[in-house]
Structure formats: structure tokens, C-alpha cells
Amino acid sequence: MKEAALTGGKSLRMRRLLSEAGRCLIVPLDHGVSDGPVAGLRDIAGTVERISAGGADAVVLHKGLVSAVQHRLRPDTALIVHMSASTSLGGHINRKVAVCSVAEAVRLGADAVSVHINLGTETEPEQLVDTARTAGECALWGIPLLAMVYVRSSPEDQLHPGKLSHAARMAAELGADLVKCPYTGNPDTFASVVDGCPVPVVIAGGAAHGDVRKLFTLVSEALGAGAAGVSMGRNIFTSPDPAVLTRHLGRLIHDSHSVDRAYSSYQECLMSDTPSAVV
């Protein structure tokens, strides 16, 4: 498994994000800035508690929510503070701007920070500048940087293996310690994305679709292609029981369960009288 060559504070904090095998399950919960209080995030403290109880390795939050939910996080759930924002209200959803500093995130107790980069947009240059600046701050503070990279030049480009490979490599070269990008849909082409990136790569979960078997299959394929894990939000926090789904995704990622075994156990838990307790 690919490992980042880190030292000092970054190395210590990265160990909270990645298992000894170099894998992780990250759950982004930062959607309130872009989309408002969407289903699954209205009771953000309750959602954080369920996902943490399910065994997530880390959650991603904007700075303003940390004080409201920190008491719901288990000690073994890392906190990633998100640094980028845009809203769907202004018509510039792909223009991500910096809304937090690494120093602020450190004061809040962050184990890592994250940035969002939309390549192929008019504001790509500004987003690259923000990323490079944040990477420099992360180096000073000893904080790992997760870069969430997407190709937005056209719908056809979003899953293009060559363009995703370029995006992932760009993020690593600007200083990211962990890269998140969409899964290409094919393990062979995704392997080329992973091979071209010198730091661990996790896949994005994408839009919520409710097909858990399909979800498990995609995760299993990506892991087989060399992915370090997943960074998945909407498919988890909109599910019937986020704790149960988180736990079973963890079994795929950390315990190498097969898709059939994980899905069968997931279904059994949902049919039990107290599914959240049977994780």
C-alpha cells in the first residue's frame, strides 16, 4: 500500500487518518455551505455521532460546526476542517475560495485540513494559488492536507482517466498528502490514476443513489486498483442507518470483506429491531 513520506507532526496526525495498512474511511459533512441544511445534515450533531459510532476514521466539517459537534466525536475519529467554500445560490458553485486558515483549524483541534479544487474552470488559477498557500501553512504547522480534486471542463471529462490522473498528480505536486478524486468506473483505468500519484488516493462517493450493493462493488473495485479508501458523504448520511453503512464500508476497507459478505451482513443489520446497535 502506498504511503506518504511524512515526518514530525504530519506523520503523527496522518496515523489518525490512515490504518497501519494505509487505508481510511472519511465522511465529508461539509455540504451545508454549498447546499444548505440538506436531508441527513439537519441534525448535524446526531449525524456526526452516528457516523463516529460506525467507525469512520475521519469526518470533514467546516470550522463553524466544530464546537457544536466535537462532544459527539469518539476519540478515534479524526477531525478534518474544510478550507474551501462556494454556494449554489450565487451561480458560481465551481469557484471555491479559501474561508479558513490552517491556524484556525489547529486551534479547533483539527487532525488535518482539506481543500476543494475544480480544474478546467475559469477560476482554476485562483484555486491553485489557494491550494499552494494552504500546503505551505500545513508544512509549517505539521498538518496533513487532503485535496479534493475534480475536472469540471465538461461532463465527459469528469471521469476521464487521463485528466483525473493529471488532477491527482497536480494536487500531490502542490503539497497534498492525500488526494480525493472520482472513481473512473473501471479498475484498470483507475489503477493508472493511483500509479501516477505519489501520495495515497481515495475515491469520492458521488451523488446519493441508494444502491448499496453497487456502492460496495465500486469501493471493492477501487481498493483492488490501489485506492487507499473512500471519502464518501451523501451516500452515507442520507442512508437509512448511517452507523450501519459506515461500519460495513469499514469492513470492506479495513477487513477485506467481500462485497457479498458485507452486503449480506448490512441487510441483516437493517432488518434487525435495533440496527444501529448491531454494527
Residues with catalytic function: 30, 150, 180
Residue 69 near residue 81 (C-beta atoms within 8 A): no
